[in-house]
Amino acid sequence: MTDTTAGGVSRTVTRLADGRELIYFDEGPAAAPRPPDTRPLPPSRPSVELRHDVLHDEWVTVTTHRNTRTFLPDAAACPLCPSRDGRRSEIPADDYDVVVFENRFPSFAASPEAASPETRPSPVDGEPLFARRPGDGRCEVVCFSSDHTASLGSLPPRRIRTVIEAWADRTAELSALPGVQQVFCFENRGEEIGVTLHHPHGQIYAYPFVPPRSRQVLASLERAAGRDLFGEVLAAERRAGTRIVVDGEHWTAFVPAAARWPVQLHLYPRRHVAGFPGLDEDERAELAELYPALLRACDAYYDDDAPLPYVAGWHQAPRGAHDTYRLHLQLFSIRRAPGRLKFLAGSESGMAAWINDVAPEQVAERLREVVHKDG
Ligand SMILES: [Zn+2]
């Protein structure tokens, strides 16, 4: 099935051999029909459960399927490269622009057998304090390019635009799934972040609960009843100016006043927009230019010729908070100096109380310097 999204992108939905969904996002008209996935994969049966931490009022995900054997014929082969020369990957086509598919080892997945009240899991050890429920969400992988050696920052604006269309499409569709509370599009980049696949890709988590960080924000928004807190933060940063990295026509990039990481960058749309689906044509177009430029600036941040390890997370409004919660990027790196990493030790890991050794204003100054050098 093929249809067209905004930005002239053709979207074709198909299924992998084990039943997982795969979607091609082609620039321009859809490519010729792709070959089916003929790998001998057993049906995908992820096992995911959520356990409630009653003291912190947080859900913790417990997955046990990640130990299942891998069915790739060659462990060294990249599963995100196109299928070529007799080698079969997760993507059956011999080329693609952007492709999204359901993760084979998801942290959340719909569990049809657990949907009815009779089969819902009982509390852990029968103790009512230890609530347990199925991890009914969804996890997807987004391949940004068929080029194994590319990076998101190295891709042309046309391709970034296609990635934005894919994010918007997936956000709209996943948000509509029953039980999904928030959709998070993110990219982990670099071995230091724990990335094992070098192929340029990101992930999408459709959470069956509102994650703790978002709940904190929702609580602040509630306390600020009636005020546009995101708009106020943005206005204050623009007034101060000391931490602004790029002030575009529709987007503003800045280092937050209370940054917690050695390198941290936030990017807000100037207008209140709840998520990718709400961005208009001009906002998408500017983002497609600005985002890769900011990623290149991050890579140039330290004079060390080593790409910056980072987590780039696109935060979107949880279910029911579209009027107050604004779409924004939070990017951070754990590299605190060339060859040195910040470890989350006692205060951060144990207490979630952050100590940052670098002044946010200094980080912004350096980012301004390198983003402008990039032209
Ligand atoms: Zn690859």
Res 23 pLDDT > 80: yes
Res 148 pLDDT > 70: yes
Residues 281, 137, 45, 74, CA torsion sign = positive
Last residue of a domain, one of 209, 230, 253: 209
Whether 201 is catalytic: yes
Percentage of residues in the chain having pLDDT higher than 70: 94
Question: Both 164 and 249 in a single domain?
Answer: no
Higher pLDDT, 192 or 237: 237
Distance CA 199, CA 312 (A): 16
Question: Both 183 and 218 in a single domain?
Answer: no
Question: Both 113 and 235 in a single domain?
Answer: no
| Entry field: residues in the chain | 375
| Centre of ligand 1 from the C-alpha of residue 97, in Å | 13
pLDDT in the model for residue 119: 63
pLDDT in the model for residue 192: 81
Question: Both 58 and 157 in a single domain?
Answer: yes
Integer CA distances (angstroms), 30 to 8, 36, 151, 201, 352, in order: 10, 16, 24, 21, 47
Question: Which residues lie below 8 Å from residue 11, measured CB to CB, with a gap of 6+?
Answer: 2, 3, 4, 5, 23, 24, 25, 26, 169
pLDDT in the model for residue 77: 82
Q: How far apart are the first and last CA of the chain?
A: 41
Structure tokens, 87: 């080698």
Question: What value does the mean pLDDT of the chain take?
Answer: 91
Distance CA 141, CA 162 (A): 15
Last residue of a domain, one of 177, 209, 241: 209
Structure tokens, 315: 């935060």
| Centre of ligand 1 from the C-alpha of residue 102, in Å | 17
Distance CA 113, CA 250 (A): 46
Higher pLDDT, 304 or 75: 304
**pLDDT category of residue 71 using cuts at 50, 70 and 90:** very low
pLDDT in the model for residue 69: 43
Res 158 pLDDT > 90: yes
Res 48 pLDDT > 50: yes
Question: Both 365 and 333 in a single domain?
Answer: yes
Query: CATH number, domain at 36?
Result: 3.30.428.10
Tens of pLDDT, residue by residue over 183-229, are: 999 999 988 887 878 899 999 999 999 999 999 999 999 999 989 99
Question: Both 145 and 157 in a single domain?
Answer: yes
Percentage of residues in the chain having pLDDT higher than 90: 73
| Centre of ligand 1 from the C-alpha of residue 359, in Å | 38
Which domain range does residue 231 map to? 213-373
Res 317 pLDDT > 90: yes
Question: Both 205 and 219 in a single domain?
Answer: no
pLDDT in the model for residue 75: 43
Instruction: Report the candidate in 331, 374, 307, 43 with the shortest Cα–Cα distance to residue 151.
Output: 307
| Centre of ligand 1 from the C-alpha of residue 85, in Å | 14
Question: Both 269 and 158 in a single domain?
Answer: no
Tens of pLDDT, residue by residue over 74-112, are: 445 899 999 988 889 999 999 999 999 999 888 888 776
| Centre of ligand 1 from the C-alpha of residue 200, in Å | 8
pLDDT in the model for residue 232: 98
pLDDT in the model for residue 369: 96
Which range scores top for mean pLDDT: 17-31, 63-77, 356-370?
356-370
pLDDT in the model for residue 113: 57
Distance CA 281, CA 268 (A): 16
Question: Both 82 and 228 in a single domain?
Answer: no
Question: Both 174 and 318 in a single domain?
Answer: no
pLDDT in the model for residue 8: 87
Last residue of a domain, one of 158, 178, 209: 209
Of 183-187, 290-294, 315-319, 333-337, give the lowest mean pLDDT range: 333-337
C-alpha of 148 from chain center: 19
Domain count, the chain: 2
pLDDT in the model for residue 72: 43
Instruction: Report the candidate in 203, 164, 206, 166 with the shortest Cα–Cα distance to residue 182.
Output: 206
Res 307 pLDDT > 70: yes
Residues 143, 144, 145, 151, CA torsion sign = negative
| Centre of ligand 1 from the C-alpha of residue 81, in Å | 4
Res 6 pLDDT > 90: no
Of 113-122, 179-188, 278-287, give the lowest mean pLDDT range: 113-122
pLDDT in the model for residue 70: 46
pLDDT in the model for residue 115: 55
Q: What is the mean pLDDT of residues 123-144?
A: 94
Q: Which of 52, 199, 201, 272 is flagged as catalytic?
A: 201
Question: Both 202 and 238 in a single domain?
Answer: no
Question: Both 190 and 281 in a single domain?
Answer: no
